[in-house]
Amino acid sequence: MAGLTIGAAFLKFYRRHEAPVSFLMFGLGFVFDVLTIRRIDSTRALVQEALYLLILGVLLLLEIRKITGGLELRGKGAKLWEYHGLVVHFLFGSLLSWNTIFYFSSASAVASFGFILLLGGVMVANEVGKSLSPGIPLRIALFSVCTLSYFLFLYPIFLGKLSRSTFWLGFGSSLTLVLLLWAGHGLKAPRYWRKVILPALAVHTLFLLAHATNLIPPVPVAVKKIGVYHSVEKRGGHYLAKYLPGEWTRWPWGTPEFAARPGDRLTVVLSIFSPRSFSDEITLKWYRFEGSWKLEDRIPLSILGGREKGYRGYGTKQFFTTGDWKVVVETSDEREVGRLRFSVRPDLSVTPRSFQEDVF
């Protein structure tokens, strides 16, 4: 009896404060995934997110059928249904936090950050105002974002590479799943299709355009650390990159300066995260600024996945001039995963140099 009283009191409170309580559940879901998921390629994370998608899909299907008269709940079913909104908000919070965290970790170019901001705006739109809470079109759009992102993460992890084909596999799987959700609502009235199918098609079209213009960050690959150095050597399982004191004092708020003497080489060292069993190739593209950025060189690097702090690699350029440079790190499907800008200035001193070491 006490349990029923507590439940009734909570439902009364929830009905009076639906918007803030829903927002709180969304926040709890967001924080839960932030604290519990560390690696995008962990089996537990992939199974957990797949389960969330399944539960969320079933709840959306039931919600559509209930709103359109295809489902009528009585007794305990009706009472339990009053809590479904809280579950939906928690699941959206978890799924969208998972997506945003890993998109953000892989984003590099300004365009990719625009994509991240758009994704963040969608999350905010889900929570602002009580009037949005029962909106089936918005929920279908959010569900489409979650399913698309999940499959775009899954296939590169499963196949061990990132390519155009993995995008199309993910895109096709997500679209099929959302279409099955629409077909499963059992409606004979065709007019309702626009409230379910149009939001899903709009999201998939947006992702398709973003992919065509390389706006989608290349998840699950991410640059963990990158810098330009005078040399690098492997010692005791570590890569030790050598630099001069003062060269990196302006980083990350300014452009680091490389003090070059005759015979020096530019050595870009990086650690790049990729999932276990991942084997692919990245390219270091070297640009020099001469009124505009001119491509000077391409250095391919093979990467292997699994290391927590990222696979270490480096590219060296022997012939260079002073001025502004940048190195862009691209995946095998030509998406930017990281970049480094630096300035090369002449060092006319002949005094011995004392190098410091950066550990990778």
Residues 234, 200 share a domain: no
Residues 189, 120 share a domain: yes
Rounded (5°) CA angle 226-228-319: 135
Average pLDDT rounded to a whole number, residues 145-150: 89
Cα radius of gyration rounded to whole Å, the chain: 25
Decide: 258 and 343 in contact? Cβ < 8 Å.
yes
Going by DSSP bridges, is the β-strand pair 279-289/323-330 parallel, antiparallel, or unpaired? antiparallel
Which range, 39-48, 160-169, 191-200, 225-234, is most confident? 225-234
Specify the pLDDT at position 129.
41
Predicted confidence (pLDDT) at residue 288 exceeds the cutoff of 90: yes
Residues 305, 193 share a domain: no
Q: Is residue 331 domain-resident?
A: yes
Residues 64, 106 share a domain: yes
Provide the residue count of the chain. Answer: 360
Q: Is residue 97 domain-resident?
A: yes
Among residues 294, 173, 274, 258, the alpha carbon closest in space to that of 222 is found at: 274
Decide: 281 and 303 in contact? Cβ < 8 Å.
yes
Q: How far apart are CA 59 and CA 53, in angstroms?
A: 10
Q: Report how many domains make up the chain.
A: 2
Query: Which percentage of the chain shows pLDDT scores above 90?
Result: 28
Residues 157, 118 share a domain: yes
Predicted confidence (pLDDT) at residue 20 exceeds the cutoff of 70: no
Residues 273, 189 share a domain: no
pTM reported for the whole predicted model? 0.74
Residues 26, 140 share a domain: yes
Domain enclosing residue 320, as ranges: 222-359
Predicted confidence (pLDDT) at residue 173 exceeds the cutoff of 90: yes
Of 32-46, 256-270, 299-313, where does mean pLDDT reach its minimum? 32-46
Dump pLDDT digits (tens) for 25-58. 666 766 776 667 667 778 888 888 899 999 998 8
Last residue of a domain, one of 212, 235, 268: 212
Decide: 172 and 230 in contact? Cβ < 8 Å.
no
| Phi, psi (deg, nearest 5) at residue 322 | -70, 160
More confident residue, 248 or 115: 248
Average pLDDT rounded to a whole number, residues 153-162: 87
Specify the pLDDT at position 69.
67
Going by DSSP bridges, is the β-strand pair 257-260/336-346 parallel, antiparallel, or unpaired? parallel
Q: How far apart are CA 228 and CA 222, in angstroms?
A: 18
For residue 241, list its beta bridge partners: 232, 358
The number of beta carbons lying within 10 Å of the beta carbon of residue 174 is 25
| Helical packing angle, 84-106 and 110-127, nearest 10° | 170
Residues 161, 61 share a domain: yes
Residues 207, 279 share a domain: no
Tokens for 175?
């679209």
Predicted confidence (pLDDT) at residue 126 exceeds the cutoff of 60: no
Residues 245, 183 share a domain: no
Q: Is residue 228 domain-resident?
A: yes
Decide: 287 and 326 in contact? Cβ < 8 Å.
yes
Q: Is residue 217 domain-resident?
A: no
Predicted confidence (pLDDT) at residue 318 exceeds the cutoff of 80: yes
Residue with tokens 């999932």: 275
Residues 275, 301 share a domain: yes
Specify the pLDDT at position 301.
92
Predicted confidence (pLDDT) at residue 128 exceeds the cutoff of 60: no
Last residue of a domain, one of 162, 181, 212: 212
The CATH number assigned to the domain holding 280 equals 2.60.40.1930
Q: Is residue 94 domain-resident?
A: yes
Residues 164, 16 share a domain: yes
Q: Is residue 324 domain-resident?
A: yes
Of 37-51, 73-87, 107-121, where does mean pLDDT reach its minimum? 107-121
Q: How far is CA 41 from CA 49, 220, 277, 307, in A?
A: 12, 8, 10, 12
Last residue of a domain, one of 173, 189, 212: 212
**Across the chain, what does the average pLDDT equal?**
79
Specify the pLDDT at position 1.
45
Rounded (5°) CA angle 28-34-37: 125
Q: Is residue 263 domain-resident?
A: yes
